[in-house]
Amino acid sequence: MKVAALTGNAVARTQVRAAAHAVTAHWPEYLMEAGGLGLFMLSACGFTVLLEHPASAVHQALPIPWLRRLCIGIAMGLTAISIIYSPWGKRSGAHLNPAVTLTFFALRKIEAWDAAFYVLAQFVGGTLGVLLAAYVLGPMLIGHAAVNYAVTLPGEPGLWIAFVAEAVLSFGLMLMVLTVSNRPSLNRYTGLFAGALIAMYITSEAPLSGMSMNPARTLASSLPAHVWRDAWIYFLAPPIGMLLAAQAYLLSRGRGSVLCCKLHHENSSRCIFRCRYHACGREVTR
């Protein structure tokens, strides 16, 4: 019993040291992930108010729902592109999504503690972004039933259609990220592909599930809105879809083809991941 207790204590101390080292060495990347998703949510709330609040002049000028979704989709696609290509996105890798981080962890491209702190940062950052939007726009404005903190909810077709839609869209996004980001000749365009997909998804799929693909994005809106109906869809479907995409990619290309987990690697920012991006021609700094 004493040996087991001593062994357990040694393991616990090792884990504490590993966590402390991760925070000390990589805290800038964690803050950048939090800030990135916070900015994304601030943009999501702002454009949702602009285009969906009944009192908005833009809403009144665009009475066709799909046209308003197209505008929101373009705005959020451009927001995602801006974050991915920003100095923060280039350094952190711009996961901005726990499902993305967990998928790369399953692919053995990110250390366990880095993955844990990335996920924590994404949840905290997204929530702070929505709270900041409420402060800037006014809680009465952003809390209006037509906006409701940009919360994600299943559409009229039902919750199982929403679940399948979230899983399929997440599958498509992750498969694209793996296919493009792991080709040195295409890596620099990963953000453009991601932004285009987000714009297309919001325009075409939002009536089915609200288009989340991101557990942290859903929690960030649900928490201040106090709306948790069918929230399980957005916590389960995106990771399932992305993990399936990772398996499909491995079956077709092999594990050795996964070079890193940065969405944008053609830059001079340091890389904290299990990186094999030799084609960049630089020494990888951990």
The domain that holds 73 is classified in CATH as 1.20.1080.10
Q: Is residue 133 part of a domain?
A: yes
Q: Is residue 13 part of a domain?
A: no
Q: Is residue 286 part of a domain?
A: no
Cα–Cα dist 28/80, whole Å: 20
What domain range includes position 115? 26-280
Q: Is residue 98 part of a domain?
A: yes
Q: Is residue 6 part of a domain?
A: no
Find, among 126, 170, 171, the residue nearest to 150 by Cα: 126
pTM (two decimals): 0.91
Query: How many separate domains does the chain show?
Result: 1
Q: Is residue 14 part of a domain?
A: no
User: Tens of pLDDT along the chain (286 residues)?
Assistant: 555 555 667 777 888 888 988 899 899 999 999 999 999 999 999 999 999 999 999 999 999 999 999 999 999 999 999 999 999 999 999 999 999 999 999 999 999 999 999 999 999 999 999 999 999 999 888 999 999 999 999 999 999 999 999 999 999 999 999 999 998 889 999 999 999 999 999 999 999 999 999 999 999 999 999 999 999 999 999 999 999 999 999 999 888 889 999 998 878 889 999 888 764 444 333 3
User: Which tokens belong to 81?
Assistant: 């592109």
- What radius of gyration, in Å, describes the C-alpha atoms of the chain? 20
Q: Is residue 35 part of a domain?
A: yes
Q: Is residue 9 part of a domain?
A: no
* Distances in whole angstroms, Cα of residue 143 to Cα of each of 45, 130, 154, 222: 10, 11, 19, 11
